[in-house]
Chains A and B, each alone.
Chain A
């Protein structure tokens, strides 16, 4: 029976071991949200501590697991044992017990020390990083220019306010006046300068969310009623993926975001661009029809578009530059050509490379997103399949002061086309 049992265990163990080995291949270590491929000091420190625990555990596992296997094999019952005399009883050995307890405590001290040092390191921007990261040290200050920042903040590091809502993130750069109050906030995708420490202020407007960019920093929660903070730094230029990591309701899985790490000069250009308004649309174009629909279908109640005076809502994502972003709908819909993107990732052997926005994909996404969200039933009379169930565009009744009935809320295919054409002009 014994050998049969062990051949069974062996049969089970072999494929598992093979799978584990296959799972550890290098190619899988740098997937888009890998924590094993840190690209910033915070994630790096967290990775280092993690690897300390891994090595400790591997050693302990080999020791204890090895002893267990050895004991089970060595001390197995053998034929004839039934008649053997009773085993001499031992009730434990105090020296062995104390030795093992001491050794366990010693092993834990090995990981306790890096843990403590990393806890304080991760908490806030380290003093050592401030001289090179403060705005005065790297941001081009141009007297009187529009993109300038106030003199009082130049000794500060860059600060970004992250505001969580069901189910998208809003990013604000108060030092540059890019805030929701100024109608200049940035939804879903934000940008940080390479190699500079950035302080993140975490706020929530409804439930608890959590801010997680695995390659740049572990997560910290956005707690309503509390003011949490963290710091991040991206050391390599690229396009990084993040996701809400605290269950926050129906569409929690769709609450994603992106961060672009760029050279400091690029960052300044980006800030300047966020302060520009949208361009006028051509007369008689589909886009002009779409712009009118943006008003009559009550989109303007919630969304802001600088350059469209009607659109001054403060609840929903700012759409002034919606067509320049690589993702839509809480970063769930990707506006890039998926095949080209995967081909680039394979060619560059990293997942931070990114192709540009593909207008055809973007337009399809806009139609899919708006077409599913505004109404409870589609053209065929069946309930629409939401891209994001529970999203607030579905709650038109709550904000519909224009008094549209459900039929008036619905879009025809032509109207959707026109609306998408308008949004495509918002570069």
Chain B
């Protein structure tokens, strides 16, 4: 039916006649402004939205981090209370991982993967929108706990009847991003209403449901990208011609699909413990707290690679571009990425060396953890090999990429140090570990992602970020970062434990905590300046050419900003680094004759993904309220699930729709020089 209602090709979607979906509702195809962004199924717009939300939450997490560092600037400080400090570090970790790095990586996946493989969109555009909005609502539920916390501090809730049930009144989660049971769970026996006493308050319930919803968003997106990369590659784009960033996206998506079910199960068990008196992790009823740690870390360790592989992919694109030569050892880089992903599932217990596993498992996980250093080292060697013999041009993305290699290498080295379980017995849960993973995740991943932003911003917006500001901000980031986290190696070895909101003078930690805090301020300011630079660029920056860096991959062959149909004609790929070979080698990009005069088929926009995701908003608010003892809150959960089901149902029934968009003729598009015969 929907195919009968196709429009004639139009030059712009604004020229479309109003069209009704199979449900009889008007399709939002012709919308502009806010409703266009809310209903978009364009992978580029979704990517930009992911990026904008991620940068916002980076700033939120950064403010939390600065509050933490301010509290620690001197011994016995009372800038925040113990409870608030615990909430800050819980939300800092959770925000940076789930709301900062993962969505920023997702922004790159969304924007780049279809362009790099020569596709016009992802495999399931509406599912992609669903992933985005589910992430947005999950993030909102998680952070809404702060609103409740501030309301509580202001005394808003003190008159409610259910308030008397709250022995623990932490509204924002204060259980750490790892939420170890039984601190996050229950103890003793459940009462008649199936509520067992708990160590923490409703903040933990917000955390549980928030992470659960974010997991759904990540899973949906991952299935989408796997389908896209496997099925929607242009002719001639064989797997071994895929850009490395796309390869790392594929590995990351597979990791997410394999890792997130473990945390999903664990979260459901914890939720049942807290809301319905189950006893999975309640030791006084025979539950096993250690089970939580196994389930959490078999998700949590692959999660580390979920965070780092996209940044590795980005750097693997930038280094060849600015070295003027192709990636050294492409197959080995791809293979080692896959090996890292595989081994990532075999090392989770190195987070649990101090839990009394016994010598045999400790030894096994110690050796496996050392083994994962090999593929990681291989990547660094190959990046070095890429620079070797090249002509290195210094640009903001290149400087940040070199910073990535350097900082990531430092983080890898301290990782080797605590792969040795006996050494780790002294380092576990000390500031040494904080130093280690911030070198990996901030010095590594954040620098890599910032490099990616500076690298692809000209492609995304057609405008070039100011290089001088970029250098100054990057310099501040690198300097501030090293000042903040370098001394923490020493602090950890000097015995300062993590997650402690204060410390006494006399333990020898005063000087370096002060230095670390000053470093954190410089770092925070540097990141802020960088983000301001980027946002300013997006609106007011200097316009630039479509291929400002002498790019290598397919996206640089397109105009900037990229038109909504991406490729006017489907490309036919003849080599790895297709666009570079097209420019400088003999292997030209060909174009398929896919009926260009009929226009490009565009998917219709839809409200349904947004509607379905909104169900998670209700369910996400209702579940903690139910655990809090708010009367009838369970109905809010049921309403939310109802909205989700109705949203998906309408989505299924509205039909795919679509319209045809006229494209400009491809100037002098030659016949394919080499057809896809692989």
A-to-B contact residues, CB < 8 Å: 1-2, 5, 8, 12, 16, 19-20, 23, 28, 31-36, 43, 45-47, 49-50, 52-54, 56-57, 60-61, 64-65, 67-68, 71-72, 75-78, 81, 84, 86-87, 89-93, 96-97, 100-101, 104-105, 108, 111-112, 114-116, 118-123, 166, 202, 206-208, 210, 212, 214, 217-221, 223-226, 228-229, 241, 243-254, 332, 334, 338, 341-342, 389-390
- Contacts A34-B495, A60-B413, A214-B495 given; does A250 touch B83 at CB 8 Å: yes
Q: Which residue of A lies closest to B382 (CB)?
A: A92
The B contact surface, by secondary structure, is helix
In the complex, besides A53-B417, A72-B392, 9 extra interface pairs with C-beta distance below 8 angstroms are A47-B426, A49-B423, A91-B329, A100-B378, A221-B354, A225-B289, A252-B500, A332-B504, A389-B81
Point out the residues of chain B lying under 8 angstroms from A32, CB to CB: 495, 506-508
Q: Would you call B390 and A111 a contact (CB within 8 A)?
A: no
Q: Would you call B497 and A111 a contact (CB within 8 A)?
A: no
Point out the residues of chain B lying under 8 angstroms from A342, CB to CB: 506
Subset of 7 A-B contacts with CB under 8 Å: A5-B471, A16-B486, A68-B384, A68-B409, A92-B328, A221-B354, A225-B290
- State in angstroms the CA–CA spacing of A123 and B569 once bound together: 66
* Distance between B484 CB and nearest chain A CB, rounded to angstroms: 11
Point out the residues of chain B lying under 8 angstroms from A225, CB to CB: 283, 286-290
Binds A, one of B248-256, B358-366, B605-613: B358-366
Q: Would you call A218 and B426 a contact (CB within 8 A)?
A: yes
Mark interface residues in B496-522 (1 if CB within 8 Å of A CB, else 0): 111111111011110010010000000
Binds A, one of B25-33, B134-142, B474-482: B474-482
* Distance between A9 CB and nearest chain B CB, rounded to angstroms: 8
Q: Would you call A50 and B420 a contact (CB within 8 A)?
A: yes
Binds A, one of B180-188, B260-268, B616-624: B180-188
Mark interface residues in B371-406 (1 if CB within 8 Å of A CB, else 0): 101100110111011011111111000010010011
Q: Would you call B493 and A35 a contact (CB within 8 A)?
A: yes
Q: Which residue of A lies closest to B331 (CB)?
A: A92
Contact partner, A71, options B330, B387, B486, Cβ 8 Å: B387
Q: Which residue of A lies closest to B487 (CB)?
A: A23
Point out the residues of chain B lying under 8 angstroms from A228, CB to CB: 355-356
Is residue B86 contacting chain A, with contact meaning CB distance below 8 A? Answer: yes
Contact partner, B493, options A12, A36, A45, A76, Cβ 8 Å: A36
Q: Would you call A245 and B413 a contact (CB within 8 A)?
A: no
Binds A, one of B209-217, B319-327, B642-650: B319-327
Point out the residues of chain A lying under 8 angstroms from B600, CB to CB: none
Is residue B312 contacting chain A, with contact meaning CB distance below 8 A? Answer: no
Point out the residues of chain B lying under 8 angstroms from A64, CB to CB: 380-381, 384, 409
Point out the residues of chain A lying under 8 angstroms from B423, CB to CB: 46, 49-50, 53, 115
- Contacts A111-B370, A208-B289 given; does A119 touch B359 at CB 8 Å: yes
Q: Would you call A33 and B507 a contact (CB within 8 A)?
A: yes
Point out the residues of chain A lying under 8 angstroms from B416, CB to CB: 53, 56-57, 108, 111
Q: Would you call A19 and B487 a contact (CB within 8 A)?
A: yes
Q: Would you call A16 and B482 a contact (CB within 8 A)?
A: yes
Q: Which residue of B lies closest to A246 (CB)?
A: B429
Q: Would you call A78 and B420 a contact (CB within 8 A)?
A: no
Point out the residues of chain B lying under 8 angstroms from A56, CB to CB: 416
Point out the residues of chain A lying under 8 angstroms from B367, CB to CB: 112, 116
Q: Which residue of A lies closest to B499 (CB)?
A: A247
- State in angstroms the CA–CA spacing of A23 and B493 once bound together: 12
* Distance between B396 CB and nearest chain A CB, rounded to angstroms: 11
Q: Would you call B389 and A87 a contact (CB within 8 A)?
A: yes
**Of B373, B385, B475, most A-chain CB atoms within 10 Å:** B385
Is residue B174 contacting chain A, with contact meaning CB distance below 8 A? Answer: yes
Q: Would you call A250 and B86 a contact (CB within 8 A)?
A: yes
- Contacts A50-B420, A57-B413, A252-B500 given; does A108 touch B373 at CB 8 Å: yes
Mark interface residues in B458-490 (1 if CB within 8 Å of A CB, else 0): 000000000000010001001100110011001
Q: Would you call B330 and A91 a contact (CB within 8 A)?
A: yes
- State in angstroms the CA–CA spacing of A338 and B76 once bound together: 14
Contact partner, A49, options B358, B414, B420, B478, Cβ 8 Å: B420
Point out the residues of chain A lying under 8 angstroms from B494, CB to CB: 28, 31, 33-36
**Of A86, A119, A226, A390, most B-chain CB atoms within 10 Å:** A119
Is residue B425 contacting chain A, with contact meaning CB distance below 8 A? Answer: yes
Scan residues 403-455 of chain B and give those whose CB is less than 8 A from a CB of chain A: 405-406, 409-410, 413-414, 416-417, 420-430
- Contacts A19-B487, A65-B409, A104-B374 given; does A92 touch B329 at CB 8 Å: yes
Interface size on B, residues (CB 8 A): 105
- State in angstroms the CA–CA spacing of A111 and B418 once bound together: 11
Is residue B176 contacting chain A, with contact meaning CB distance below 8 A? Answer: yes
Q: Would you call B503 and A31 a contact (CB within 8 A)?
A: no
Point out the residues of chain B lying under 8 angstroms from A253, CB to CB: 82, 499-503
Point out the residues of chain B lying under 8 angstroms from A104, CB to CB: 373-374, 377-378
**Of A90, A208, A214, A334, most B-chain CB atoms within 10 Å:** A208
* Distance between A62 CB and nearest chain B CB, rounded to angstroms: 11
Point out the residues of chain A lying under 8 angstroms from B381, CB to CB: 64, 97, 100
Is residue B246 contacting chain A, with contact meaning CB distance below 8 A? Answer: no
- State in angstroms the CA–CA spacing of A18 and B386 once bound together: 32
Q: Which residue of B lies closest to A34 (CB)?
A: B494
Point out the residues of chain A lying under 8 angstroms from B502, CB to CB: 253
Contact partner, A111, options B358, B420, B498, Cβ 8 Å: B420
Is residue B200 contacting chain A, with contact meaning CB distance below 8 A? Answer: yes
Q: Would you call A50 and B426 a contact (CB within 8 A)?
A: yes
Q: Would you call A119 and B362 a contact (CB within 8 A)?
A: yes
Q: Would you call A248 and B183 a contact (CB within 8 A)?
A: yes
* Distance between B521 CB and nearest chain A CB, rounded to angstroms: 15
- Contacts A65-B409, A253-B501 given; does A206 touch B187 at CB 8 Å: yes
Q: Would you call B385 and A2 a contact (CB within 8 A)?
A: no
Scan residues 574-604 of chain B and give those whose CB is less than 8 A from a CB of chain A: 584-585
Q: Would you call B359 and A68 a contact (CB within 8 A)?
A: no
* Distance between A347 CB and nearest chain B CB, rounded to angstroms: 15
- State in angstroms the CA–CA spacing of A409 and B392 once bound together: 74
Q: Would you call B507 and A97 a contact (CB within 8 A)?
A: no
* Distance between B338 CB and nearest chain A CB, rounded to angstroms: 15
Contact partner, B289, options A54, A61, A224, Cβ 8 Å: A224
Is residue B332 contacting chain A, with contact meaning CB distance below 8 A? Answer: yes
- State in angstroms the CA–CA spacing of A89 and B382 once bound together: 14
* Distance between A53 CB and nearest chain B CB, rounded to angstroms: 4
Point out the residues of chain A lying under 8 angstroms from B584, CB to CB: 86
Q: Would you call B429 and A119 a contact (CB within 8 A)?
A: no
- State in angstroms the CA–CA spacing of A324 and B475 once bound together: 54
Point out the residues of chain A lying under 8 angstroms from B325, CB to CB: 87, 89-90
Is residue B199 contacting chain A, with contact meaning CB distance below 8 A? Answer: yes
Q: Which residue of B lies closest to A52 (CB)?
A: B420
- State in angstroms the CA–CA spacing of A205 and B471 once bound together: 54
Point out the residues of chain A lying under 8 angstroms from B374, CB to CB: 101, 104-105, 108
Mark interface residues in B303-342 (1 if CB within 8 Å of A CB, else 0): 0000000000000000000011110111110000000000
* Distance between A338 CB and nearest chain B CB, rounded to angstroms: 7
Point out the residues of chain A lying under 8 angstroms from B508, CB to CB: 28, 31-32, 34
Q: Would you call A77 and B425 a contact (CB within 8 A)?
A: no
Point out the residues of chain A lying under 8 angstroms from B83, CB to CB: 250, 389-390
Contact partner, B497, options A72, A212, A217, Cβ 8 Å: A212
Mark interface residues in B650-675 (1 if CB within 8 Å of A CB, else 0): 00000000000000000000000000
Q: Which residue of A lies closest to B180 (CB)?
A: A208
- State in angstroms the CA–CA spacing of A118 and B371 once bound together: 19
Q: Would you call A8 and B81 a contact (CB within 8 A)?
A: no
Q: Which residue of B lies closest to A84 (CB)?
A: B391
**Of B86, B287, B325, B423, most A-chain CB atoms within 10 Å:** B423
Q: Which residue of A lies closest to B403 (CB)?
A: A9
* Distance between B11 CB and nearest chain A CB, rounded to angstroms: 39
Contact partner, A1, options B180, B394, B509, B585, Cβ 8 Å: B394
**Of A31, A61, A254, most B-chain CB atoms within 10 Å:** A31
Q: Would you call B483 and A35 a contact (CB within 8 A)?
A: no
* Distance between B166 CB and nearest chain A CB, rounded to angstroms: 13
Q: Which residue of B lies closest to A116 (CB)?
A: B363
